[in-house]
Chain A
Amino acid sequence: DGGITQSPKYLFRKEGQNVTLSCEQNLNHDAMYWYRQDPGQGLRLIYYSQIVNDFQKGDIAEGYSVSREKKESFPLTVTSAQKNPTAFYLCASSPQGGDYGYTFGSGTRLTVV
């Protein structure tokens, strides 16, 4: 759907658990991004990756981890260190360099129970 797929659509996490959100793209995009969306706060960058095996922290990286072992995949792990993980998580990708808009995934809504 749109070349970038996020799963699951809904995820529930118990206190103290780590959970992993999946993001896969078949657009041959080099760059991938993870954003967190909270009501009234817009989109905040968690991590981004420009190339395989390399990634950079965004503005709110604490309590999250990522990996980029393949160009197509950029999973996000929400660790137990993230104290307020309930949010809507959006993955995006874009071609490397130049000025191109993002293609967004459909998002994962994470709820702590």
Chain B
Amino acid sequence: GENVEQHPSTLSVQEGDSAVIKCTYSDSASNYFPWYKQELGKRPQLIIDIRSNVGEKKDQRIAVTLNKTAKHFSLHITETQPEDSAVYFCAASTSQNTGNQFYFGTGTSLTVIP
């Protein structure tokens, strides 16, 4: 099955700096890669996703890049703010007729220091 690895497990940045979180996956059939943000004690929320036919996607201060050849994808947050502090999870899935099962990374705890 799919194996998703995520690094780093913790990340501290100064407010205004950029943060980058990287994930690798093992199954070349994976074709959908969402990113979730989970604030303390709350549910994970989808913040951005990318499909395998796209190399990069941007939404305001958040961007995701995908390298299918190397089987890795990354989350980039620019101009970080204290409210960006949370745990971020990457995931990979293979779209099938029976639905999409996600495989999650182990999470990155991001702290933005004011």
A residues near B, CB below 8 A?
2, 30-31, 33, 35, 40-45, 48, 50, 58, 90, 94, 96-107
Contacts and interface: CB of A to CB of B under 8 A. Distances in A.
Interface residues of B, number: 27
Contact of B49 (A33, A58, A90, A101): A101
A16 to B, nearest CB: 29
B93 interface: yes
Given A40-B106, A105-B43, A107-B43, A98 B95 contact: yes
B100 interface: yes
Nearest to A49: B99
A99 B97 contact: no
Contact of B104 (A42, A99, A106): A42
Contact of B99 (A41, A58, A97): A97
B51 interface: yes
Contacts of B28: none
B99 A99 contact: no
A97 B31 CA distance: 13
Interface of B: 6, 9, 31-32, 34, 36, 42-46, 49, 51, 89, 93, 95-102, 104-107
Closest 3 CB pairs of A and B: A99-B32, A42-B106, A101-B46
Given A41-B106, A45-B101, A97 B95 contact: yes
Nearest to B104: A43
B43 A2 contact: yes
A40 B9 contact: yes
Contacts of A33: 101-102
Given A31-B100, A48-B101, A97-B99, 17 more contacts: A2-B43, A31-B99, A41-B106, A42-B89, A45-B101, A45-B102, A90-B43, A97-B95, A98-B95, A99-B32, A99-B49, A99-B51, A102-B46, A103-B46, A104-B45, A105-B43, A106-B42
